[in-house]
Chains A and B, each alone.
Chain A
Amino acid sequence: MSHPARRRSQGPRRLWHDGRRPLSEISEFSCESCGSQVQVEAHLRTTTCPYCASPAVIERPRGGGRPQPTFVLAFILPNEAALAAARRWVRRAWLAKEAFRKAKVEALRGIYVPAYLFSAAAHADYTAQIGENYQETYTTTDSKGRTVTRTRTKTEWHTLSGRYAAYVSDVVVTASRGIPNDELEGIEPFDLRALHRYSPRLLSGWIAEEASMAAAECRQLAIDEALAEVQQRIARMLPGDKQRGLQVSAKLDALDQELVLVPVWVLPVRWGEAPEQVVRVLVNGQSGAVFGKAPRSWVKIIALVLVIAGLIVGGWLLGQHR
């Protein structure tokens, strides 16, 4: 077998898996610094020459279903700070298994993750039941049989119909099959004020992934997120003392979605012995927000529930004694 990095080839080379579907499409190019052949996998936009460590960014021709990023959010949080944030998060996962909390936290990688930045104008009609409180005085007899006047708070309900219109402009949804949307949401928000127009220079030396989800699929995710946000905003707008039964019928106009590369520190935390397990921890490359799915320790959770239940029962018994 020839050494792949040394093999001269023209254009992309395909590797086939199972003889049925392409495993990955590998591009080869010659390093501008040392002239050696460097391989780049299809799902990546950047690479580093293994011989001279020169960073490279790949500009693939447009079309072919691979969208060009419009914007980049650059890394602000340095490696050490991200590592410290991840370590803190792992150590403080109080309800996680002990082996996980003691796991080694090292070797994290900065990745530009593809995501779609979605914006639209939202118009909505809504109806809701709005409760307005008032005080009512009533007479009753107390324990000694005397007639007393007391006040109680009552609520009268009104049906409110209204309209809402605003822009929903900062919805970010994943475009990477590797990082599901709920994980990306876990480390949002990103500071969109720091947006840069896409330039290969911003990616140099970092790992940048190509969008691997179809634009239409991401669009639906974004629409769902935008509609949920409109619903929340209307819920916050409602007057009155109590609110219930909010019904929103919203439509989105002038939709737009742009591919943006967002900075994420990715860190696989390996824990446990035979079999070793891996939990992926993500750190926002701007804000340092951490997300991960720590393995829950049911022993600890049950113990905590028992302690809380014990405190409640104890408090109740104490109250009964007085």
Chain B
Amino acid sequence: MANTADAAPPPCGRCHSPIELGDLRCAVCGLPTPAELAAAVATKIEFLRCEGCGAAVSYDVKAQAPKCSFCDSVMHVETPDDPVEEARASLPFAIDDEAAKVGLRAWLGTLGFFRPSDLQSSATIGELKPLWWVGWVFDAEVLVSWAADSEVGSRRARWAPHAGQREVHFRKVLVPASRGLTSDECRAIAEGYRLETQGPPPEPRPGALVERFDVQRSAARVVIAEALERAAAGQAADWVPGSRMRKLKIAVLPRRLTSDRLAFPAYVLAYRYRGKLYRAVVNGQNAGVVTGKAPYSVAKILLVSLGSVALVAIIVAIIAAAS
């Protein structure tokens, strides 16, 4: 057999989702894969895990030492038997360091009234670390079963029960798998990516961190099933009759679930304001998409709350005087 390495295994016999070389069970429905597949896998991947913060990261060739980019601590080596998910493709960086810093400074000016007035001008932007964080992007045909209470059909009570089932086709649902960035951070910067720009997996380059998927493939099933339920719950308002609902419960039966493992470029920046350090993340393809932490202006918040208390007091006084 000349090209066994290239031959893709046949899809899962139960849910028709693609099976990958080295899978012991279908990641979607749990059906075991034929044993011949295992024989084709010869190489094990070794990955490094940070002892300090638990982020799974690649060995940094340039640094010649396993040092975690998130917390600077030393890492130990783990060799899993169950293959750890790896990024199949990556999106390239479309902006440089300077543009990321400009993007961060612009973002600091858009945070609203309750932030310090001089935040944008006085923040000193410090270290900037480019990194690729990883996540799944999946498409699936899902039979969604739901049950919920809504106001439709209720008699004396406010609620009446409803249930239903429907086929939903999900496209391009993003599930972050990063440990260095939080899920909220990933979702916040996800909107600026252009999926059509994807290329080969990221090459290690000096200073740039390439995150690894932190989950083994067999554990990905749980993560993806939860994401499917979340995605279905997000659409439930369209199916549950009426305008109000409560106690929504979802069960999913996915079929033909194809997921792509992508690495997304981002800059992690640290900036200092009045001696305190804050972290922000800038989308590596669009400097306009930024998320992070920023200080509040205690003086402004105090002023507004005192002002509103005073206003209420004045109104009460006027009403009292008038009556």
Contacts and interface: CB of A to CB of B under 8 A. Distances in A.
Interface stretch (B1-9, B27-35, B110-118): B27-35
A5 interface: no
B25 interface: yes
Given A163-B165, A240-B159, A195 B218 contact: yes
A134 B219 CA distance: 43
B164 A239 contact: no
A130 B162 CA distance: 10
A272 B29 CA distance: 49
Contacts of B13: 254
28 contacts: A119-B31, A121-B14, A132-B159, A132-B161, A133-B157, A136-B156, A158-B161, A160-B147, A160-B163, A162-B145, A162-B164, A164-B145, A165-B251, A165-B253, A169-B29, A192-B218, A194-B82, A195-B24, A195-B82, A195-B218, A197-B35, A236-B249, A237-B147, A237-B251, A239-B246, A239-B247, A239-B248, A240-B161
A256 B15 CA distance: 13
Interface string A149-171: 00000111010111111110110
A240 B163 CA distance: 11
Contacts of A162: 145, 147, 163-165
B216 A193 contact: yes
Given A158-B161, A194-B82, A167 B30 contact: yes
A87 B34 CA distance: 42
Contact of A240 (B29, B30, B247, B252): B247
Given A237-B147, A239-B147, A158 B153 contact: yes
Which of A117, A155, A156, A236: most chain B CB closer than 10 A? A156
Contact of B165 (A165, A170, A238, A240): A165
A169 B25 CA distance: 10
Interface of A: 70-71, 117, 119, 121, 130, 132-134, 136, 154-156, 158, 160-167, 169-170, 192-197, 233, 236-240, 254, 256, 258
Interface of B: 13-15, 24-25, 28-32, 35, 38, 81-82, 143, 145, 147-149, 153-165, 216, 218-219, 221, 246-249, 251-253
Given A133-B157, A161-B163, A239-B247, A256 B32 contact: yes
B156 to A, nearest CB: 5
A192 B32 CA distance: 12
Contacts of A155: 157
Contacts of B154: 132
A154 B154 CA distance: 14
Nearest to A257: B32
A160 B152 CA distance: 13
Which of B29, B153, B248, B249: most chain A CB closer than 10 A? B29
Given A132-B160, A154-B156, 6 more contacts: A71-B32, A165-B145, A196-B81, A197-B24, A237-B147, A256-B31
A240 to B, nearest CB: 5
Contacts of B218: 192-193, 195
A315 B162 CA distance: 45
Given A156-B156, A192-B218, A240 B149 contact: yes
Majority DSSP secondary structure for residues of A touching B? strand
A240 B147 CA distance: 10
A132 B219 contact: no
B199 to A, nearest CB: 31
A170 to B, nearest CB: 7
Contacts of A197: 24, 35, 38
A236 B250 CA distance: 11
B161 A130 contact: yes
B51 to A, nearest CB: 20
Contacts of B25: 169, 195
Contacts of B246: 239
Contacts of B31: 119, 169, 254, 256
Contacts of A236: 249
Given A119-B31, A134-B156, A169-B29, A254 B145 contact: no
B163 to A, nearest CB: 3
Contacts of A195: 24-25, 82, 218
B32 A254 contact: no
A132 B218 CA distance: 41
B196 to A, nearest CB: 33
In the complex, the 4 A-B pairs of residues with the closest C-beta atoms, listed nearest first: A169-B30, A162-B163, A132-B157, A134-B157
Contacts of A254: 13-14, 29, 31
